[in-house]
Amino acid sequence: MKKLFIGILSLLILAGLVMPAHAVQSRAKTYSNCDQMLKKYPNGVAKSKSAAAKAVKSGNARPKISASLYKTNGKRLDRDKDGVICEQEGKVVAPDPVAPPIVANLSINPPNPDVSWSAETPTYSYLFQIPEAALPQVSQFQVTGTVNETIDMSTKSPTCRESVCTIYQFGKSAPWGSEVSLNVVTLGVNGLSSESAATSVVFPGRPKQTNTWTFLANGSRTAVPNSSGGDDWADGNQTRTLELSRRLDKWDLIGYSVFSSNYYGTASCEILKNGVRVDYETSTGGSAYCSAG
């Protein structure tokens, strides 16, 4: 009897040791719907690594991998039978905002003294460039320095060529001999701004309002120009220097004849403007004529 009891006890112990694993494992939790499951597993549950990878490739968030959870809940909750329960779309991560590009080739076109000599305060222009592909990113250009203005790209039409756009600004003014400096910052539609581009230039001093004319004559009699716009007849060789306003019509004023003795023989004339020869004439026919032109 004692031996029988010991044998039965041994069998029971052995039975407990070799009991199947699934008999001692707790059963996976059952969820009645996706709302309940997503509280615990916000990205859903996949039955395998391959099913999870396929879900991510399709644009879903990476789910938890659990074969037991899927086995317990998949039949009811995996409606599309893709191996993932209650899958959720992945969040689209927006790229970090990028500042617009800095402008290139910022330059100032100073006034030309030969053209703007009469202006008390001359005008000038400036320009800069930006890649055409970057224009949609640009809201405004903020200009500071000698000029303070905002260039609104909603109303500005740049000149674009070969993928580069040029912005021109005309009609600016500054005194002769002054330094003009500009700083340009690109403002993006995303609220960010570029680094500042800068340039400066010193304007020339105000041009002379007069030109120095020198009239030379080799002959017996000469009609030498005077500052009133007429001529003074003089005998013998002549040299006359006049400071004449640049506003005077040189064709009306600066022209004269030189005559040789008895209007026969050699006569010559020469005109210098600011020390540079602009006309010269010599003749053996008794007279020579020079004019500025």
* Residue of 76, 46, 75, 68 whose CA lies nearest to 58: 46
Give the Cα separation of 227 and 235 in Å (integer): 19
* Residue of 135, 131, 126, 91 whose CA lies nearest to 108: 126
Which element (helix H / strand E) includes 84? Answer: strand 84-85
Supply φ then ψ for residue 115, to 5 degrees. Answer: -100, -40
Higher pLDDT, 140 or 22: 140
| Chain position carrying tokens 């004319």 | 213
pLDDT tens-digit series, residues 179-223: 999 999 999 999 999 999 999 999 999 888 888 999 999 999 898
Q: What is the pLDDT of residue 245?
A: 81
* Cβ atoms of residues 243 and 215 within 8 Å: no
Termini Cα distance of the chain: 148
What's the pLDDT band for 117 if we cut at 50, 70, 90?
Answer: confident
* Residue of 213, 218, 232 whose CA lies nearest to 288: 218
DSSP letter assigned to residue 263: G
